[in-house]
Structure 1
Amino acid sequence: MPTAPKPIVAIVGPTASGKTSLSLDLAEALAGEIVNTDAMQVYRGMDIGTAKLPVEQRRGIPHHLLDTISVREPATVAEFQRWAREVISDLRRRDVTPVLVGGSALYTRAILDRFDFPGTDPAVRERLEQELESVGSQALHHRLRELDPASAGRIEAENGRRIVRALEVIEITGRPFSATLPVQEYLDPATVQIGVTIDRDVLDRRIEQRVREMFEGGLVDEVRRLRDEGLAEGRTASSAIGYRQVLAHLDGEMSLEEAQERTVIATRRFARRQLAWWKDDSRITWVDHDDPARVAKALRKIGQAPTR
């Protein structure tokens, strides 16, 4: 009789909360492999600004969906869903536990939950992208806020690519973009989400420290090098927090100090939006970031995962 497939484990929580260390601990305990679910860590060379774990710190654990495309290439949620599900399927065929970790809440939900993507209309998309070029993301975000306040609350005003997609879906479906988002129903019932909780004040300090260390650790040089490789022309990569602020600095639009401060503010806002995604998901088992028993608690929950 065939054995039940290994569970799918996903680590969620705000940026800088300690998801990476927990994912490594769990992958070690489960003899699993890591699957990246961070939208920006798929880009080669985007290392410092995405807090990508260096190879020497990965404890010898295989990591998937890191450094797979160039900064010039766009990447959609639908593409990421396909890539991740292919990796997960392969791991489980090999009887290996996939441990998903990353800061992109929508991407994680799109991978785990039943989610069919709305179609696209090239003419509508082109028109909206032309509007983005002419009036800017703030104006389009204001329009989105009037049409779909829920989506506007989850998409930052500087993320022109996501705003365009939301407005495109609204126009071609006649429904709010938020109505097309994943429902809380796992594609595979043998799925476990472990969330990392952290006090907001502590998180804010950790974010400020992380951003400071990124700038001190060479983020500006990284962005300068990636700009020569086409970062500014890449619709997805150029929207990454930290990278777009440094690009603005390199273009003379703001001082280095302002770029760093704006990165801190944008990262804190991003963390708030991440929490908004997960706060109503009762399927998540939460563990405190500094709880010495967090690994044991997570493993107990994973051991209770249903099988098909």
Structure 2
Amino acid sequence: MGRVSKPIAVIGPTATGKSDLALDVAERVGGQIVNIDAQQMYRGMDVGTAKLPVSERRGITHHMIDVLDVTDVATVANYQHDAGQIVDDLLSRSIVPVIVGGSMMYIQSLLDHWTFPATDPVVRAKWEALLEAEGLGAVHQALRSVDPVAADTILPTDGRRMVRALEVVEITGRPFAASQPTRGDSRWGTTIIGLDRETDELDDRILRRTALMFEQGLVEEVEKLIPLGLREGQTARRAIGYAQVLAALDGEYPMAEAQEITAQGTRRYVRRQRSWFRRDTRVTWLNPADSDVVGRAVQVAGIAG
């Protein structure tokens, strides 16, 4: 079978089976995995992110996993830089990067030519102060007043991204979306494979996956991460599942309700992922239930043989 000198990306909504397909593809082409799930970059955040244990990685090298402490701030710009260097290095050694994950902005930062707007510490501090003093609702309302499109597309619980959008709008005088790239040819000529499932099937998978996370020790994982600074982390503590467990531990609602809210939040996130990815005409969509989905993926990537 021939080799390719370009990456293969496996993207799509949460719980569609991306990790399994990526491993199968990496085995087939002798590739290595480049993670593009923002939460899996955190050390110790394993159960709640469905991170594959090392024992289940089939001896395949994984990059951009366990590279941050829970007190570190995950940023799209830093990810773009670090992951881009890894992809360049793998390609220079004729190793196929198999990029896998569902974090929308991270995918776009890596696969599109995205130059990030400058930051202004004074402007940033002003909006961060509003978030701290008056909460998410006030920041969301401020964003809606200057950029309603951004207010509709950014989760109202994502305070950090809303602050960044307000900063960009104030600095540039243009809508937040204007600072984002338009989709053209994918960087490195990456082949983009998308996985999705029927909504009812995916909802069922999310329910079962969420229940399994709580059964397998998500609460205990959060309790272990608290002394390591989870509560202080700007981005880690807001991850779906972790935020809900923290709230339950603080007495805001019972832990059983935390599980239910986690599943609901995941379903909402999946809807946003699906809408985002479906707009990208470069994606070749495959059915994960196809008995030869691996063969189809490598064929699309130009490794038919």
Letter in 1 for 2:143: L
Q: Helix, strand or coil: the match of 1:166?
A: helix
8 Å CA contact 2:40–2:66 kept in 1: the answer is yes
Quick one: distance in 2 between partners of 1:297 and 1:148? 42
Report the counterpart of residue 185 of structure 1 in structure 2.
184
Q: Tell me how far 1:148 sits from its aligned partner.
A: 2.8
- The alignment status of 1:62 with 2:61, answered yes or no, reads yes
Quick one: distance in 2 between partners of 1:255 and 1:113? 42
Report the counterpart of residue 167 of structure 1 in structure 2.
166
Quick one: distance in 2 between partners of 1:217 and 1:125? 39
More divergent stretch after superposition (139-148 vs 271-280): 139-148
Report the counterpart of residue 19 of structure 1 in structure 2.
18
Report the counterpart of residue 234 of structure 1 in structure 2.
233
Superposed, 1:190-201 pairs within 5 Å as: 190-201=189-200
Quick one: distance in 2 between partners of 1:264 and 1:142? 26
Letter in 2 for 1:295: V
Quick one: distance in 2 between partners of 1:180 and 1:192? 25
Q: Tell me how far 1:5 sits from its aligned partner.
A: 6.7
- The alignment status of 1:272 with 2:271, answered yes or no, reads yes
Computed over aligned residues only, the root mean square deviation of the Cα atoms, in angstroms, reads 1.7
Cα deviation per residue 1:140-174 (whole Å; 9 max; x = unaligned)? 22332343333333321111111111111111111
Superposed, 1:74-153 pairs within 5 Å as: 74-153=73-152
Cα deviation per residue 1:106-160 (whole Å; 9 max; x = unaligned)? 1011101110001111011111111111211133223323433333333211111
Q: Tell me how far 1:187 sits from its aligned partner.
A: 5.3
Quick one: distance in 2 between partners of 1:233 and 1:93? 39
More divergent stretch after superposition (176-185 vs 20-29): 176-185
More divergent stretch after superposition (267-276 vs 133-142): 133-142
More divergent stretch after superposition (177-186 vs 74-83): 177-186
Q: Helix, strand or coil: the match of 2:34?
A: strand
Q: Tell me how far 1:279 sits from its aligned partner.
A: 1.2
Letter in 2 for 1:156: L
TM-score, normalised relative to structure 2? 0.95
TM-score, normalised relative to structure 1? 0.94
Gaps in structure 1 of 5+ consecutive residues = none
Percentage of identical aligned residues: 50
Quick one: distance in 1 between partners of 2:185 and 2:238? 29
> Number of aligned pairs?
303
Report the counterpart of residue 206 of structure 1 in structure 2.
205
Q: Tell me how far 1:304 sits from its aligned partner.
A: 7.1
> Would you identify which runs of 4 or more consecutive aligned residues in structure 1 move more than 4 Å?
none
Quick one: distance in 1 between partners of 2:239 and 2:226? 13
Q: Helix, strand or coil: the match of 2:9?
A: strand
Quick one: distance in 2 between partners of 1:186 and 1:142? 36
8 Å CA contact 1:12–1:105 kept in 2: the answer is no
8 Å CA contact 1:5–1:92 kept in 2: the answer is no
Q: Tell me how far 1:189 sits from its aligned partner.
A: 4.8
- The alignment status of 1:52 with 2:51, answered yes or no, reads yes
Quick one: distance in 1 between partners of 2:146 and 2:277? 23
Q: Helix, strand or coil: the match of 1:73?
A: coil
Q: Tell me how far 1:248 sits from its aligned partner.
A: 0.8
Gaps in structure 2 of 5+ consecutive residues = none
More divergent stretch after superposition (63-72 vs 155-164): 155-164
Quick one: distance in 2 between partners of 1:163 and 1:175? 15
8 Å CA contact 2:110–2:187 kept in 1: the answer is no
Report the counterpart of residue 246 of structure 1 in structure 2.
245
Report the counterpart of residue 292 of structure 2 in structure 1.
293
Quick one: distance in 2 between partners of 1:209 and 1:144? 36
8 Å CA contact 1:72–1:233 kept in 2: the answer is yes
Q: Helix, strand or coil: the match of 2:144?
A: helix
8 Å CA contact 2:130–2:138 kept in 1: the answer is no
- The alignment status of 1:256 with 2:248, answered yes or no, reads no
Cα deviation per residue 1:25-74 (whole Å; 9 max; x = unaligned)? 11011100000001111110000111100011111110001111110111
Report the counterpart of residue 35 of structure 2 in structure 1.
36
8 Å CA contact 1:12–1:101 kept in 2: the answer is yes
